[in-house]
Amino acid sequence: MNASIVFRMAWRDWRAGELALLLVALLVAVGTVTAISLFVDRLHQALLLESANFLAADRYIGGSNPIPEPYRKAVAARNLDLVDTMVFPSMIFAGVDRSQLVAVKAVEEGYPLRGVLRTALEPFTRGEEGTDIPPPGEVWLDSRLFPAMSVKLGDEVEVGLARLKVTRVLIAEPDRGGSFFDLGPRLLMNLADVPSTEVVQPGSRIGYRLLLRGEDDELDALEAELGFEDSSGYRWVDVREASPRIGSALDRAESFLLLGGLLAVLLAGVAVALSAHRYARRHYDHVGIFKTLGATPDQVMWSYVAVLALVGAAAVILGSIIGGLLHLGIVEVLKELIPIELPAPSLRPFWLGATTGFICALAFALPPLIHLRNVSPMRVIRRDLGSAPASQWLSYSAAATGSLFLLIWYSESLFLTFWTLVGAAAVLVLFGTLALLLLRGGRVVGMQAGSGWRLALSGLQRRHRENTAQILIFGLAIMLLLVLVLLRTALIDEWRSQLPDDVPNHFLMNITPEQVAGVRELLRKTRRQGPIYPMIRGRVVEVNGIDAKQWDARHRHPDDPGTRVGSERNLTWAAHVPKDNEVVLGEWWPSNEERSLVSLEDEYARELYLKLGDRLTFDVAGVRVDAEVASLRRLDWESMQPNFFIIFSPAALKDSAATYMTSFHLEREEKIFLNRLLSAYPTVTVIEVDAIIAQVQIIVDQVTQAVELILALVVVSGCLVLIASIQAGRDARVREHALVRTLGGTTRLITGALAVEFAVLGTFAGIIAVVGAEVTVALLQNQVFELPVQAHPWLWLIGPTVGGILILVVGLWGTRGVVSSPPMTVLRGADD
């Protein structure tokens, strides 16, 4: 057959509405993938950009020595912006007798590369954003240094040997960090002034950072080129490492978005397969005629492949446009909700959409069309001849291969793919059986029912193969929707519960035992004060009488960069198990315990090969303290509460000179409270993490929006699958009901029978979907998202009800012509 006849064939099929469903299904595949990818791509870039604010850069190279020249050269050779910073603790002086330990940050012009500095002329105000840094000779101080040191703007402070003028109040800087070791309030100065302070001496504790900004490709290439090894003493840091909390929120959001996109693709694939099968089935007669007229099997196959290629090309072009517009619409609708500016999209989403379209066409639509080459020409005489069943293998294996390829390609995760496939296989086998049993049960009930019911249920039973398939498809679509809804709820609840509104956002440290009562009294008024913990620095020197270094050497490879048993730690003691801590092994001591015991964090103990009953010897401020490991605890590191790896029984450290720490919540407008606190207790150290928490909350909100949006898009493609599936079964229903009508069946009877049929199919599909969703969500939560597993009893009511109603509505809408078209038209036209 030549090209012109192929075009004409396609055009005639299009005109006759034969290709519309296939085109729409492919459009949905391409459009959804393009729109989701475009939006996710841009949002992802935006979120990374936003998160980069935590670093004040896209990446940085950090170390405790000056950044070496070869690194600088490698950076300079690429198209990257760079800025040097230094961080070190220093005692500063004002007037005659006022001194304070501060965390100095020295920066140069261009800082910060991401995010903004916020400064003010009054302490404890909101301040304004600015792009400049302290000029040489000037410093900017944290609000709380003003009351603590009784300084005001224009005064001078001594940093090492340099006298520098205080010119502004530093309200916020992007890379403040929340580390307990980044002690003390901030002093921001110009890097050019550092030599004159002469604080940089051999052995000084100084953090050097080379902040970097540029394209991801360039940065990744640089990282690969420099190949940071642990022995180099320098680290390559991105946002995931710098802020694990944001890293994990982003990772989960990405996993979810990917999963959503993946499901949308698979749903669209199912829709494509259904409509292609229907198209092929409706062309058996045509092929029979073509063949009697001399068309060879190859000619038949290539003509339909060409028609599919035409439809595929049209779907890719139109789908890209629709996807683009859809995503613009989404951005427009969510403009208010997404306060960050979205960067321009990359081309990848369009490429992703187009390839998805062609893969869907190849894997899902091509096999049934290739089948057509096997249709026997005898079909023109004997209509019951379809196509050879052997080639159905081709159909299933192509669909499986295509799905596998799409899953791996789209998720870039073999793990996620594996679990999705395991789930799909389990669903097909188990639910196929379940669906058949349900249909059988329905038949038994139907025997005792009225005529509409009997007609519907006998129809369900008679076409049990098609209906089992349809229940599976409906069930799968509903299941995917439920999975997404459940995961969304679990994820968002999880994020929100991590950061409740009254989460502690200020930490007080260095409280002396004498100050404890006074500080407690002052904080009582804020009402949201956490417990007060004693805190003292110390390190393990022996384990079961073995030197700590030898212990490490025995259990660890020398190149293992992990924690060392002898590292210095914050120690505390407590009579009761702290909140958010759970004893997983051993027992917590009674409050009057006299022995010297210690409780370790579970992971910490595992990493250092410590177990219950081990005897640890600590060096606490020069004093040796022995203690036996009595319990292992699991704790929630994301809770924003003070957490300790090592907790002693009170008796063990009763003679130690500890300071105390606590945490509390303060609203932004209450910040003036810090002024009062620091005036009364100038030696106390305040660590403010409210800015970080606020930033995390913004990100969580944005991610939540994105998650909901993906959910909506998947719901749309799910509904399209339902429509495609109903369309696919429409022909058989149309013929059957036309026959019933010629035999005297009333419109009411037929509508009733159809309604019952769809409602029953939907309810069965709902039952299957609930079982599938519970299992899948449990697996995903456990394996992928690392969230606790929950059952959802309400689902067992909602699933079948929603399934029944949804399929009833979509089904009746999809078959509305069945009832209204004259039976004669249906019975006469072989092609209807």
Partner 1 sequence: MTRNTVIRAVDIGKVVPTAEGNLSILAGVGLEINTGESVAIVGASGSGKTTLLGILAGLDLPSSGTVELAREEITALDEEARARIRGEHVGFVFQTFQLLASLTALENVMLPAELRGDPGAEPEALKLLEKVGLSERAGHYPRQLSGGEQQRVAIARAFASRPTVLFADEPTGNLDTSTGQKIIELLFDLNTEFNTTLVLVTHDSRLAQRCGRVVEIEQGRLRT
Q: Choose the binding region for partner 1 from 139-147, 569-577, 670-678, 822-830 (rule: CB under 8 A).
A: 822-830
Say whether residue 2 binds partner 1 (CB under 8 A).
yes
3-state secondary structure of 575: coil
CA separation for the pair 179, 241 (Å, rounded)? 13
Q: Choose the binding region for partner 1 from 6-14, 352-360, 423-431, 815-823 (rule: CB under 8 A).
A: 6-14
Say whether residue 291 binds partner 1 (CB under 8 A).
yes
Q: Which helix (H) or strand (E) holds 171?
A: strand 162-172
CA separation for the pair 813, 229 (Å, rounded)? 63
| Residue 815 near residue 731 (C-beta atoms within 8 A) | no
DSSP letter, residue 361 = I
Listing DSSP states for 372-426 in one string gives GGG--GGGGT-TT----GGGHHHHHHHHHHHHHHHHHHHH--HHHHHHHHHHHHH
Question: Which CB atom, from 385 or from 430, has the smaller least distance to partner 1?
Answer: 385
ω before 112 within 30° of 0 (cis)? yes
Judged by CB under 8 A, the residue of 63, 185, 288, 772 near partner 1 is: 288
Whole-number Cα distances in Å, 211 to 39, 62, 208: 29, 9, 10
Q: Choose the binding region for partner 1 from 53-61, 297-305, 505-513, 587-595 (rule: CB under 8 A).
A: 297-305
To partner 1, the closest distance from the beta carbon of 828 in angstroms equals 8
Question: Which CB atom, from 179 or from 296, has the smaller least distance to partner 1?
Answer: 296
Say whether residue 787 binds partner 1 (CB under 8 A).
no
Say whether residue 289 binds partner 1 (CB under 8 A).
yes
Say whether residue 16 binds partner 1 (CB under 8 A).
yes
Query: Within 246-285, which residues bind partner 1 (CB under 8 A)?
Result: 285
Question: Which CB atom, from 382 or from 525, has the smaller least distance to partner 1?
Answer: 382
Count of residues in the chain: 832
DSSP letter, residue 122 = S
Say whether residue 286 binds partner 1 (CB under 8 A).
yes
Q: Choose the binding region for partner 1 from 107-115, 295-303, 362-370, 796-804 (rule: CB under 8 A).
A: 295-303
Question: Which CB atom, from 254 or from 285, has the smaller least distance to partner 1?
Answer: 285
CA separation for the pair 217, 198 (Å, rounded)? 39
Helix axes 20-52, 297-333, angle to 10 degrees: 40
Question: Which CB atom, from 6 or from 754, has the smaller least distance to partner 1?
Answer: 6
User: Who contacts 373 (Cβ-Cβ below 8 Å, separation ≥6)?
Assistant: 287, 297, 298, 300, 301
Say whether residue 18 binds partner 1 (CB under 8 A).
yes
Listing DSSP states for 691-752 in one string gives HHHHHHHHHHHHHHHHHHHHHHHHHHHHHHHHHHHHHHTHHHHHHHHHHHHHTT--HHHHHH
**Torsion angle defined by CA atoms of residues 747, 748, 753 and 756, in that order, rounded to the nearest 10 degrees:** 140
Say whether residue 554 binds partner 1 (CB under 8 A).
no
Judged by CB under 8 A, the residue of 70, 154, 294, 545 near partner 1 is: 294
CA separation for the pair 392, 567 (Å, rounded)? 64
Question: Which CB atom, from 61 or from 310, has the smaller least distance to partner 1?
Answer: 310
Question: Which CB atom, from 288 or from 324, has the smaller least distance to partner 1?
Answer: 288
Say whether residue 12 binds partner 1 (CB under 8 A).
yes
CA separation for the pair 606, 445 (Å, rounded)? 59
- What type of residue is 550? Q
Judged by CB under 8 A, the residue of 224, 293, 347, 390 near partner 1 is: 293
To partner 1, the closest distance from the beta carbon of 429 in angstroms equals 27
To partner 1, the closest distance from the beta carbon of 29 in angstroms equals 26
Query: Within 370-389, which residues bind partner 1 (CB under 8 A)?
Result: 376-378, 380-382
Q: Choose the binding region for partner 1 from 200-208, 286-294, 498-506, 714-722 (rule: CB under 8 A).
A: 286-294
Q: Choose the binding region for partner 1 from 148-156, 183-191, 287-295, 325-333 (rule: CB under 8 A).
A: 287-295
To partner 1, the closest distance from the beta carbon of 10 in angstroms equals 11
Instruction: Catalog residues that contact partner 1 under the rule CB under 8 A.
Output: 1-2, 4-5, 8, 12-13, 15-16, 18, 285-286, 288-299, 376-378, 380-382, 828-831
